[in-house]
Amino acid sequence: MSLVLPPTAPAADAGGSGRLAAGPRRPLGRGERVTAAMAHHVLVYRRTWRGSVISRFLSPLFFLAAMGLGLGSLVDAGGGVGQSYLQFVVPGIIAYQGALLGFGDATYPVLGYIKWNRMYSATLATPLGVTDVLVGHLTVLAANLAVATAVFVAVAALFGAFASWWVLLAVPVGMLTGLAFAVPTFAVSATILTDNVFGVLYRFVLTPVLLFSGTFFPLEQLAGWLQPVAWVTPLWHGVVLARAAAAGEWPGAMGLVHLGVIALFIGVGWVVAHRAFSRRLLS
């Protein structure tokens, strides 16, 4: 008597739907290509996140303790700024932190991927394109900014730094402010040959912007001729939006203006960065 075996089920890829099947493969979709680009940065961050704990999480808490609690007690005793200095400065630090992290993540890491380990060039040898590389890296950077901002908001809330639960809106504000600094800096990183430029940018561009953006004192305290300088920086607009969210105040039509300026920096930065990456990596 012969044993009759049931027909074996076809392999998962035998139907030609999987990418391991024999024969022509369908092109990767945009989502698959961006996900592949993101996977690299997620893997790198999982291996290196411990080195960023101080800059991403502890540094803003140091500012909270020194500026909000320490200096804040002296400011409040001296007449204050019309409200608790803690509740004044901490929302500003949210935007400040986003700007600092966005700038930092778009300098040495990006130049390293372009020049030192040539990861971007290796990626472009696959079906991924410049748009996929940029979108994937910026998406992971945006997620990191959102997580760092959310952690800081949660900790600062324990100290009574916010007057309203609307402060949750400060998380996307901090993320967008960070992108407004990161995306244009991607373009700079793709055009330079040496990292010495980053020191110049930090000393003569980023530091003045951070100091004169209304983060630590009201913008009205600046000289009249200096105030318009702050108006054209994305950080001041982020500070105003974060401060309104923390106070539970609707910014009105000016809120759209503030968002528009931040979006303008991101949009123009994207166009310039895409051209710079294409010229540097595909030429």
pLDDT at residue 143, rounded to an integer: 95
Tokens of 58: 């502890």
pLDDT at residue 31, rounded to an integer: 93
Given pLDDT bands bounded at 50, 70 and 90, which one contains residue 237? very high
Give the model confidence (pLDDT) of 64-77 as tens digits. 888 778 888 888 88
Work out the percent of the chain whose per-residue pLDDT is above 70. 93
Burial of 235 (0-12, 13-18, 19+ CB in 10 A): buried
In a domain, 20, yes or no: no
Other C-beta atoms closer than 10 Å to the C-beta of 222 total 16
Q: How confident is the model over 57-70, as a mean pLDDT?
A: 80
Is the pLDDT confidence value at 210 over 90? no
Is the pLDDT confidence value at 51 over 90? no
pLDDT at residue 18, rounded to an integer: 65
Give the model confidence (pLDDT) of 11-42 as tens digits. 444 445 566 778 777 888 999 999 999 999 99
In a domain, 9, yes or no: no
Burial of 180 (0-12, 13-18, 19+ CB in 10 A): buried
Is the pLDDT confidence value at 174 over 50? yes
In a domain, 211, yes or no: yes
In a domain, 2, yes or no: no
Q: Which residue has the higher pLDDT, 215 or 11?
A: 215
In a domain, 18, yes or no: no
pLDDT at residue 26, rounded to an integer: 82
pTM beyond 0.85, yes or no:
yes
Q: Which domain holds residue 127?
A: 31-282
Dist. CA 178–CA 116, nearest whole Å: 25
Q: What share of the chain is helix, strand, coil (3-state, %, to 5)?
A: 75, 0, 25
pLDDT at residue 74, rounded to an integer: 84
Given pLDDT bands bounded at 50, 70 and 90, which one contains residue 141? very high
Domain count, the chain: 1
In a domain, 68, yes or no: yes
In a domain, 229, yes or no: yes
Is the pLDDT confidence value at 95 over 90? yes
In a domain, 11, yes or no: no
Write b or e for each residue in 71-110: b if 16 or more Cβ atoms lie within 10 A of its Cβ, otherwise e. bbeebeeeeebeebbbbbbbbbbbbbbbbbbbbbbbbebb
